[in-house]
Amino acid sequence: MTDPAEALRVLIHEIDSGEIAADEVQRAYLLGAADTLESLPADRPEGVQDPPVQ
């Protein structure tokens, strides 16, 4: 399975090289998503979520 953060980084690279059209807001959103995914713990089993904050 492809790493989602890595897939977003590839997409951002394609935006930066002009292969894909996107404005700065879209690029920033994708960059933020990639950063967030990379900050998640690597040992979290797939599908496991944190309990809701009360």
What does the alpha-carbon distance between residue 42 and residue 37 come to, in Å, rounded to a whole number?
A: 10
In three-state secondary structure terms, 49 is coil
pLDDT value at position 36?
Answer: 93
pLDDT tens per residue, range 16-27? 999 999 999 999
Please tell me the pTM assigned to this model. Answer: 0.70
Cα gap 5→49, rounded to integer Å: 18
- 41: DSSP letter: -
The closest of 43, 26, 23, 18 to 8, measured between CA atoms, is 26
Give the helix ranges, DSSP H, for the chain.
Answer: 4-16, 24-39
